[in-house]
Structure 1
Amino acid sequence: MAVRTFTPGRAADRPAVLLVHGFGSDGHQDWVATGIAPALAEAGQEVIVPDLRGHGDSPAPSAAGEAGATALVADLLAVLDEAGAGTFDAIGYSLGARLAWELPTAAPGRLRRTVLGGLSPAEPFEAVDVAALHRAVADGTEPADPFTAMIAGMVRAHGDRAAGLALCVEGLRGTPFAPRSWTGDTPPVFVVGKDDMMTRGIEQVVDLVEGAELVTVPGEHHEVLAGAGFRRTVLEALTG
Structure 2
Amino acid sequence: MTSFAALPATRTAPTAEVSGPPVVLVHGFASNGAADWPAERWADALAAAGRETIVVHLPGHVGGPAVSSADEVTTTQVLGRIAAAVGDQEVDVVGYSLGARLAWDLVSSVRVRRLVLGGLSPMEPFGAVDLAAARAAVQGGPQPTDMLTGIITSMVAQQDATSLLLLVEGLAREPFNPAAGAPTVPTLFLAGEADPMAQGIDHLVGLVPDARLVRVPGDHLGALAGEDLRKAVFEFLDI
TM-score of the pair, normalised by structure 2: 0.91
Aligned to 1:152: 153
Matched, 1:21 2:27: yes
The alpha-carbon deviation at position 154 of structure 1 amounts to 1.5
Aligned to 1:202: 201
| Contact 2:183–2:208 (8 Å) recurs in 1 | no
Task: Give secondary structure in 2 for the equivalent of 1:113.
Answer: strand
Task: Give secondary structure in 2 for the equivalent of 1:106.
Answer: coil
Q: 1:68 aligns with which of 67, 71, 74?
A: 74
CA deviation map 1:40-73 (0-9, x unaligned): 2221111001210110122111111222221111
The alpha-carbon deviation at position 144 of structure 1 amounts to 2.7
Task: Give secondary structure in 1 for the equivalent of 2:23.
Answer: strand
| Contact 1:62–1:164 (8 Å) recurs in 2 | yes
Task: Give secondary structure in 1 for the equivalent of 2:25.
Answer: strand
CA deviation map 1:176-219 (0-9, x unaligned): 111023243x2310000000000001111100112000000000
Aligned to 1:225: 224
The alpha-carbon deviation at position 139 of structure 1 amounts to 4.3
Matched, 1:57 2:63: yes
Structure 1 CA distance for aligned equivalents of residues 120 and 74 of structure 2: 17
Task: State how 1:39-188 maps to structure 2 within 5 Å.
Answer: 39-81=45-87, 85-107=88-110, 110-158=111-159, 161-180=160-179, 181-184=181-184, 186-188=185-187
Aligned to 1:238: 237
Percent of residue pairs bearing the same amino acid type: 45
Q: Which runs of 4+ in 1 moved over 6 A?
A: none
Task: Give secondary structure in 1 for the equivalent of 2:166.
Answer: helix
Structure 1 CA distance for aligned equivalents of residues 11 and 29 of structure 2: 20
CA deviation map 1:105-150 (0-9, x unaligned): 123xx11011100001111222211222222233433223232122
CA deviation map 1:64-123 (0-9, x unaligned): 122222111111111112xxx51111000000000000111123xx11011100001111
Matched, 1:11 2:17: yes
Structure 2 CA distance for aligned equivalents of residues 99 and 38 of structure 1: 24
Deviates more, 1:116-125 or 1:34-43: 34-43
Task: Give secondary structure in 1 for the equivalent of 2:176.
Answer: coil
Q: How much is the aligned-residue C-alpha RMSD, in angstroms?
A: 1.5
| Contact 1:61–1:67 (8 Å) recurs in 2 | yes
- Whichever residue aligns with residue 84 of structure 2, its letter is A
Deviates more, 1:62-71 or 1:16-25: 62-71
The alpha-carbon deviation at position 25 of structure 1 amounts to 0.7
Task: Give secondary structure in 2 for the equivalent of 1:239.
Answer: coil
Structure 2 CA distance for aligned equivalents of residues 20 and 32 of structure 1: 12
| Contact 1:4–1:50 (8 Å) recurs in 2 | yes
- Whichever residue aligns with residue 236 of structure 2, its letter is A
- Whichever residue aligns with residue 98 of structure 1, its letter is R
Structure 2 CA distance for aligned equivalents of residues 33 and 80 of structure 1: 19
The alpha-carbon deviation at position 169 of structure 1 amounts to 1.2
Structure 1 CA distance for aligned equivalents of residues 118 and 167 of structure 2: 20
Structure 2 CA distance for aligned equivalents of residues 157 and 72 of structure 1: 23
Structure 2 CA distance for aligned equivalents of residues 183 and 214 of structure 1: 14
Q: Which runs of 5+ in 2 are unaligned?
A: 1-6
Q: Which runs of 5+ in 1 are unaligned?
A: none
